[in-house]
């Protein structure tokens, strides 16, 4: 939704991570995202059909931005088909059981506003584990940090189905995705980092195993602690397997690769499903 097109009576979920995870100044943010996309484009995996679903990391852009960009450049083959993005990420700050849908009409970033697909949210809320809970969205960065990439790659004219996953079952996520799967106009994005606070070499070993589990649709091998978005990933793997999709790794690194040597690192992976 273009900034000037927003109605004055709309409820806005304001940007909470701007100035922390990514620049708050629109020009700086636009330049940073474009540079990340250009860097990823030069080394991108090519060929194959456009992705139906992506797994992307959600740390600060200086840490995981290039890994996330390796997934988003793959959307250039899908543009301009994508008009709805179903975006799921884990809850970091608010504890609850189930899957939280927003009450807001649009999400704000420094690049403008993204309209919430109200009809799809209403549809998702017909499931017993999905409910409106704005408190889960207000401080949550895992969804927000994906929006500037989407705005730069597929433009302003898409709607968003933002869902924060709390303590739930992977089958709950799979049910939501099945309900909202749609056709080529719908993109699924799961926001998740991988291992946390391991030494560099241990993180590489652990993340390699997690990556292999994702690529082989072995969701049971993704144990708690191996990915902060474990439940959204597992739910995606369940439905993607049912739909006959193939998984492909696009990038796998850690903050030790992107931000220099450090005692403990966080792992990041990017994957596409088509």
pLDDT of residue 78: 74
User: Which pLDDT tens digit goes with each residue over 210-258?
Assistant: 999 999 999 999 999 999 999 999 999 999 999 999 999 999 999 999 9
What is the tally of structural domains in the chain? Answer: 1
pLDDT of residue 4: 43
- Kindly state whether residue 6 falls inside one of the protein's structural domains: no
pLDDT of residue 3: 41
- Which one has a higher pLDDT value, 77 or 175? 175
Choose among 13, 7, 44, 22: nearest CA to 164.
13
Q: Which domain holds residue 98?
A: 27-62+74-186+211-225+234-261
pLDDT of residue 7: 55
- Kindly state whether residue 205 falls inside one of the protein's structural domains: no
- Kindly state whether residue 206 falls inside one of the protein's structural domains: no
- Kindly state whether residue 273 falls inside one of the protein's structural domains: no
Cβ proximity of 67 and 74 under 8 Å: no
Distance CA 81, CA 72 (A): 14
- Kindly state whether residue 5 falls inside one of the protein's structural domains: no
Residue 28 C-alpha from the chain's centroid: 22
Burial of 239 (0-12, 13-18, 19+ CB in 10 A): buried
- Kindly state whether residue 37 falls inside one of the protein's structural domains: yes
Confidence category of residue 2, pLDDT binned at 50, 70, 90? very low
Cα-based torsion angle of the residue sequence 26, 32, 38, 39 in order, rounded to the nearest 10 degrees: -170
- CATH code for the domain in which residue 179 is found: 3.40.830.10
- Kindly state whether residue 268 falls inside one of the protein's structural domains: no
Cα-based torsion angle of the residue sequence 252, 255, 258, 259 in order, rounded to the nearest 10 degrees: 180
pLDDT over 70 (residue 18): yes
- Kindly state whether residue 8 falls inside one of the protein's structural domains: no
- The encoded tokens of residue 185 equal 């106009």
């Amino acid at each position: 939704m273009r900034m000037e097109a927003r109605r004055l009576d709309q409820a806005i979920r304001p940007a909470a991570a701007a100035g922390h995870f990514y620049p708050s100044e629109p020009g700086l943010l636009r330049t940073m995202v474009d540079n990340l996309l250009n860097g990823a484009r030069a080394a991108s995996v090519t060929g194959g059909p456009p992705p139906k679903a992506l797994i992307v990391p959600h740390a600060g852009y200086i840490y995981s931005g290039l890994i996330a960009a390796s997934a988003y450049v793959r959307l250039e083959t899908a543009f301009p088909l994508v008009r709805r993005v179903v975006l799921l990420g884990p809850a970091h700050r608010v504890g609850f059981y189930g899957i939280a849908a927003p009450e807001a009409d649009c999400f704000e970033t420094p690049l403008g506003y993204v309209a919430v697909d109200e009809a799809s949210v209403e549809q998702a809320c017909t499931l017993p584990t999905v409910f409106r809970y704005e408190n889960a969205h207000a401080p949550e960065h895992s969804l927000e940090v994906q929006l500037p990439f989407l705005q730069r790659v597929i433009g302003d004219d898409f709607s968003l189905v933002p869902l924060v996953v709390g303590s739930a079952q992977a089958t709950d996520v799979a049910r939501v995705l099945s309900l909202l799967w749609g056709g080529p106009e719908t993109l699924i994005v799961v926001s998740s980092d991988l291992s946390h606070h391991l030494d560099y070499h241990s993180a590489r070993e652990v993340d390699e195993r997690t990556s292999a589990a994702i690529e082989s649709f072995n969701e049971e091998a993704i144990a708690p602690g191996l990915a902060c978005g474990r439940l959204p990933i597992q739910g995606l793997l369940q439905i993607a397997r049912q739909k006959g999709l193939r998984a492909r790794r696009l990038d796998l690194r850690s903050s030790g690769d992107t931000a220099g040597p450090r005692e403990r690192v966080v792992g990041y992976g990017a994957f596409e499903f088509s």
